[in-house]
Chain A
Amino acid sequence: DAGVTQSPTHLIKTRGQQVTLRCSPKSGHDTVSWYQQALGQGPQFIFQYYEEEERQRGNFPDRFSGHQFPNYSSELNVNALLLGDSALYLCASSLDWRQGHGYTFGSGTRLTVV
């Protein structure tokens, strides 16, 4: 049974570029949430997708956008990258955004902006 899969595992981008991160949820899960974790900090909530719609959003600028596909997989897009966007980006999946249990995290994508 596959858990949450994220790709790529590592990525280096230049300031001003755009990046797309991908997430496949755990089998049976239909809700995907994205988090940004700076070094030494706890994860910060970016947004959550369910039924291909953004259901919740954290305090992140519009440069951060996302998408969920019919197979429940999701993408996180970041435009006009800044040095401060360097972080570990985590994807978490769960069953039904209206429930509060069963979050499973992926191993993350380490993004470095130079």
Chain B
Amino acid sequence: KNQVEQSPQSLIILEGKNCTLQCNYTVSPFSNLRWYKQDTGRGPVSLTIMTFSENTKSNGRYTATLDADTKQSSLHITASQLSDSASYICVVSAGPYSNSGYALNFGKGTSLLVTP
């Protein structure tokens, strides 16, 4: 069964500090891995997307890493800001399947709170 596990479930950090979120997956066949930021009550917004051959990708203060051998990914946030408070969701795409294309497998997310 395809699964995506994220840790920690929630995290509180002080403004300006760095933090790292983890994502472990058992998805086959692996296509790509995305990190999304989701503000409360809003739709997810894509931060990074990595394929099998990529092991790091940055988007401003967000840096994602991927170890396809150990099936682990991390999202590092540098110099956190109050606006970083949100849920961060790891999504692993599996496929292609012959008649159904690709399937997205979602983690439950890490809830991040940045305090002044």
Instruction: Identify the A interface with B (CB < 8 A).
Output: 4, 6, 33, 40-45, 48, 55-56, 88, 90, 97-101, 103-108, 110
User: In the bound complex, do residue A42 and residue B43 qualify as a contact, i.e. CB atoms below 8 Å apart?
Assistant: no
User: In the bound complex, do residue B45 and residue A100 qualify as a contact, i.e. CB atoms below 8 Å apart?
Assistant: no
User: In the bound complex, do residue A56 and residue B100 qualify as a contact, i.e. CB atoms below 8 Å apart?
Assistant: yes
User: In the bound complex, do residue A42 and residue B32 qualify as a contact, i.e. CB atoms below 8 Å apart?
Assistant: no
Pairs A-B, 10 closest by C-beta atoms: A105-B43, A42-B106, A100-B102, A100-B31, A97-B101, A42-B108, A100-B93, A56-B100, A107-B43, A98-B101
Tell me the chain B residues, 22-63 only, with Cβ under 8 Å from chain A.
31-32, 34, 36, 41-46, 49
Contacts of B106 in A (CB 8 A): 42-44
Q: Is B114 an interface residue (CB 8 A)?
A: no
User: In the bound complex, do residue A4 and residue B43 qualify as a contact, i.e. CB atoms below 8 Å apart?
Assistant: yes
Q: Which of A42, A43, A107 has the most CB of B within 10 A?
A: A42
User: In the bound complex, do residue A55 and residue B100 qualify as a contact, i.e. CB atoms below 8 Å apart?
Assistant: yes
Given A42-B89, A42-B107, A104-B46, the answer on whether A99 and B41 have CB atoms closer than 8 Å is no
Instruction: Identify the B interface with A (CB < 8 A).
Output: 4, 31-32, 34, 36, 41-46, 49, 89, 93, 95-96, 100-104, 106-109
- Report the Cα distance A48→B41, complex, angstroms: 22
Closest residue on chain B to residue A98 by CB atoms: B101
Closest residue on chain B to residue A44 by CB atoms: B106
User: In the bound complex, do residue A45 and residue B103 qualify as a contact, i.e. CB atoms below 8 Å apart?
Assistant: yes
User: In the bound complex, do residue B46 and residue A90 qualify as a contact, i.e. CB atoms below 8 Å apart?
Assistant: no
Among A90, A98, A107, the residue within 8 A (CB) of B96 is A98
Closest residue on chain B to residue A6 by CB atoms: B43
